[in-house]
Structure 1
Amino acid sequence: MLNLLSILFGLVSLVVVIPATIPLLGWANWFALPLIVIGVVLGQFSSSNGGRNFCLIVLLIAAIRLSLGGGLI
């Protein structure tokens, strides 16, 4: 159950992260980061690792985009 919730949080945050890769929309990643962290924590408490790993991949995409934009743009 926790794995399913983790995947759900990952999908919701991925919907926010994908448009945030467009220039000048990088600030939207700051809204996705708390959702990703919640998904990682829920995935950590789960018996399987699929949801946690998915959230970590989404976190990596958001972090790379934020670092390329200087954390703001």
Structure 2
Amino acid sequence: MRIAGLVLGILSLIGMLIAFIPCLGWLNWLNIPFAVVGLIVSLIAYNDVTIQPNNQPKTGIILCAIAIVLGGFRLLVGGGIF
């Protein structure tokens, strides 16, 4: 679960960076829900008390949050399409 959240965070950040290319801003409509799923998985892994503390869930949370915030900002600036 910890590694899954981290991988989803990395993939959502890569998707967000691809969506910053002009005329590919619509990709954020797919990337933001993907990042929300990664955020939920990372939060579940972070709150698991049976596993010793690790930085992987924290990193997944941070990466997904960055992808959500910057992707939403890109959609806002681009009018939802560009």
Q: Does residue 20 of structure 1 match 2:19?
A: yes
Q: Which residue of 2 aligns with 1:65?
A: 74
Q: How many residues align?
A: 72
Unaligned ranges ≥5, structure 1: none
Unaligned ranges ≥5, structure 2: 47-56
**Deviant stretches of 4+, over 6 Å:** none
Question: What's the TM-score, normalizing by structure 2?
Answer: 0.76
Question: How many Å separate the matches in 2 of 1:64 and 1:36?
Answer: 14
Q: Which residue of 2 aligns with 1:40?
A: 39
**C-alpha distance after superposition, 1:4-62 (max 9, x if no partner):** 21110111122221121122110011111121011010011112433112210111111
Identity of aligned residues (%): 31
Q: CA RMSD in A?
A: 1.4
Question: How many Å separate the matches in 2 of 1:71 and 1:33?
Answer: 12
Greater radius of gyration (CA) = 2
Question: What's the TM-score, normalizing by structure 1?
Answer: 0.84
